[in-house]
Amino acid sequence: VSDPLRGPGSASGPASRPDRLSEDVSGSDVEALLVTRLVNVEYLTGFTGSNAACLVGPDIRTFLTDFRYADRAAAEVDGWNVEIVTGQWLTGLARHVSDSVPGGRIGIEDDHVTVRTGRLLSEELTGGAFLSDSGGMVEQLRRSKDAGEVAAIAAAAELTDSIYAELFARGLVGRTEADVAGYAVGRMREQGAEPSFTPIVAAGPNGASPHAEPGPRRIEPGELVVIDMGSKLDGYCSDCTRTVATGDLVDQAGEIYEVTLKANEAALGAVAAGGSATEIDAIARDLISEAGYGEQFGHGLGHGVGLEIHEAPRLGPRSEDTLVEGDVVTVEPGIYISGMYGVRIEDLVVVGAGGIADNLSSHPKALTLVD
Ligand code: ZN
Ligand code: ZN
């Protein structure tokens, strides 16, 4: 996988990303979509600079950036009509949009454009062109990962798995949470990756907080330690959580681990194209509730992962998503007992064709004792 961001686009291959977007725009109520969210611009064009936009319609493929990025655009952006905006950025964008789609309805990514930017852009449009809220179109396209993207995510997951093995071989007892997190990040960087988010290393009572930040607390014997981390490699993220024990566990900690593992495995078994996000969430949630810990599983079951660590779709009680082939999602049930400990077990799964889901997280899940 030389360049997963460029994706397929050859004349004989599957439709390119801009072509797929163009098809979606044709079927929508706007004549063109102005993409200003950088991660979406990068997904569509391969451009990695910090200021750009693109306008996509049935017959429009325009990439816009400013003079600072003229060289980078020439090197990275292929198959687009490249416009270098001079002068004020929003004014230039508005001028280009007004000229390209005279009097047209222009979709904007209203889930990310600020109210102020939307207003300024709207005021600068001429000739009757006007803005319409069309957020989420590129995010929906991004859900279906192609083979190159899946390979990039799988490589990031594999790297993360190898770092779990190193962390546990190195030992946890006596180290601080911050030391363990820092070591993991260092190992990612030494291998050409970045953390896809600040790792969570939460021992004992800190594990009861799903978003604990690693701190100076030393890991003691006989605790549960929740470690949630992911690598970002070639632009693509991975995400995995393992919970281990540093010795014999007190009261029902072991039972809670087994309930969480059962919920994780039952939900994994239900991940397939056509599956309802709420139903898959409910499989895990019902098992946890039946064991008496429903109130202690206070977050959704999972989320999509790709260029961003959290993206579409969502698996949760209020999600309206249905899984499609190419979705890459986490399955991460957890039980959090305030003041005592927590357990979360998170795998990363690709939704394949014909009801097959492929688990990219291979680090073992049976409760492991780590000194
Ligand atoms: Zn995670
Ligand atoms: Zn996650």
pLDDT digits (tens, 9 = 90+) for 265-284: 999 999 999 999 999 999 99
Q: What is the pLDDT of residue 4?
A: 52
Q: Which ligand is nearest to the CA of 230?
A: 1
Strands (E), the chain: 32-35, 52-57, 60-66, 81-85, 105-108, 130-133, 194-195, 200-203, 224-229, 231-233, 236-237, 240-245, 302-304, 311-315, 328-331, 334-337, 341-344, 347-351, 357-359
Residue-wise pLDDT tens digits, 119-135: 999 999 999 999 999 99
Q: Which ligand is nearest to the CA of 344?
A: 1
Two structure tokens written together for 259? 């309930």
For residue 97, CA distances in Å to 21, 101, 195 come to 17, 6, 37
Query: 């499609």: which residue's tokens?
Result: 324
Residue 228 Cα to ligand 2 middle (Å):
8
Q: Which ligand is nearest to the CA of 231?
A: 1
Residue 68 Cα to ligand 1 middle (Å):
36
Q: What is the pLDDT of residue 5?
A: 52
Q: What is the pLDDT of residue 211?
A: 83
Question: Within 13 Å of residue 26, how many CA atoms lie on the same side as its CB?
Answer: 9
Residue 210 Cα to ligand 1 middle (Å):
10
Residue 346 Cα to ligand 1 middle (Å):
6
Q: Which ligand is nearest to the CA of 303?
A: 2
Q: What is the pLDDT of residue 356?
A: 80
Residue 310 Cα to ligand 1 middle (Å):
9
Q: Is 173 helix (H, G, I), strand (E, B) or coil?
A: coil
| Chain centre distance of CA 107 | 24
Q: What is the pLDDT of residue 8?
A: 45
Q: Which ligand is nearest to the CA of 301?
A: 2
For residue 193, CA distances in Å to 44, 170, 329, 340 come to 22, 21, 20, 34
**Cα–Cα distance, 117 to 88 (Å, whole number):** 13
Q: Which ligand is nearest to the CA of 309?
A: 2
Q: What is the pLDDT of residue 38?
A: 96
Which stretches in the chain have pLDDT values below 70? 1-13
Q: Measure CA of the first residue to CA of the last residue in the chain; give whole Å.
A: 38
Residue 198 Cα to ligand 1 middle (Å):
10
Q: Which ligand is nearest to the CA of 160?
A: 1
- Three-class SS of 200-237: EEEEHHHHHCCCCCCCCCECCCCCEEEEEECEEECCEE
